[in-house]
Amino acid sequence: MNEIRSDNGTILEVENLKKYFPIRRGFFQRINSWVRAVENVSFQIARAKTLGLVGESGCGKTTVARLILKLLAADGGQILFNGQDITQLDEKEMKPLRKEIQIIFQDPYGSLNPRMTVGQSIAEGLKIAGIHSRSQQEQRLEKLLKMVGMSPASSDRFPHEFSGGQRQRVGIARALSVEPALIICDEPVSALDVSIQAQIINLLKDLQRQLQLSYLFISHDLNVVGYLCDMVAVMYKGQIMEYAPTDALFDDPIHPYTHLLLSAIPDVDRNNDTEMNATADEPGRTLNPADGCSFQDRCPLAENRCRHDLIEFEQTGPDHLVRCWKTARDGTDSFL
- Mark 285-324 with x for binding to ligand SF4 (rule: CB under 6 A) and - for no binding: --------x-xx--x-xx---x----x------------x
Selected from 10, 40, 50, 62, the binder of ligand ATP by CB under 6 A is 62
CB of 63 to Mg ion, least distance (A): 8
How far is residue 270's CA from residue 227's CA, in Å, rounded to a whole number? 5
* CA–CA distance, 332 with 11 (Å, rounded to integer): 33
Tell me which amino acid residue 72 is: L
Q: Rounded CA gap, 67 and 202, in Å?
A: 27
| Among ligand ATP, ligand SF4, Mg ion, none, partner that 243 touches (CB below 5 to 8 angstroms by kind) | none
Interaction of residue 47 with ligand ATP, rule CB under 6 A:
no
Nearer to ligand ATP by C-beta: 68 or 201? 68
Q: How far is CA 168 from CA 143, 177, 194, 233, 271, in A?
A: 17, 14, 14, 25, 22
Three-state SS for 102? Answer: strand
Residue 30 or 134: which CB sits closer to ligand ATP? 30
Q: Under a CB-based contact definition with an 8 Å cutoff, are residues 332 and 254 in contact?
A: yes
Write down how long the chain is: 336
Are 16 and 2 within 8 A, CB to CB? no
Give strand ranges (E) for 26-75: 30-46, 50-54
Count Cβ atoms below 10 Å from residue 274 Cβ, excluding itself: 12
Q: Which does 324 bind (CB under 5 to 8 A by kind): Mg ion, ligand ATP, ligand SF4, none?
A: ligand SF4
With helix as H, strand as E and coil as C, how does 5-17 read? CCCCCEEEEEEEE
Q: Which is nearer to Mg ion, 38 or 126 (CB)?
A: 38
Interface of this chain with ligand ATP, residues 1 to 40, rule: CB under 6 A:
21, 35, 37
Is 234:249 a contact under the CB 8 Å cutoff? yes
The rounded distance, in Å, linking the Cα atoms of 15 and 50 is: 18
Site for Mg ion in 5-44 (CB under 5 A): none
Cα-based distances in Å from 270 to 121, 243, 288: 35, 18, 37
- Least CB distance from residue 234 to ligand SF4, whole Å? 11
Which residue type does 50 have?
Answer: T
Interaction of residue 62 with Mg ion, rule CB under 5 A: yes
Q: Which does 70 bind (CB under 5 to 8 A by kind): ligand ATP, ligand SF4, Mg ion, none?
A: none
Shortest distance (Å) from residue 139 CB to ligand ATP: 37
- Residue 63 interacts with which of ligand SF4, ligand ATP, Mg ion, none, CB < 5 to 8 Å by class: ligand ATP
- Among the listed ranges 50-58, 75-83, 291-299, 313-321, the one in contact with ligand ATP (CB under 6 A) is 50-58
Q: Is 106 in the site for Mg ion (CB under 5 A)?
A: no
Least Å from the CB of residue 66 to ligand SF4: 27
Site track for ligand ATP across 248-287, x = CB under 6 A: -------------------------------------x--
Task: Count how many Cα atoms sit within 13 Å of the Cα of residue 250 in the half-sphere of its side chain.
Answer: 20
Q: Which stretch binds ligand ATP (CB under 6 A): 60-68, 113-121, 127-135, 323-331?
A: 60-68
How many amino acids of this chain bind ligand ATP (CB under 6 A)? 13
**Amino acid code (one letter) for 332:** T
Which positions touch ligand SF4 (CB under 6 A)? 256, 293, 295-296, 299, 301-302, 306, 311, 324-327
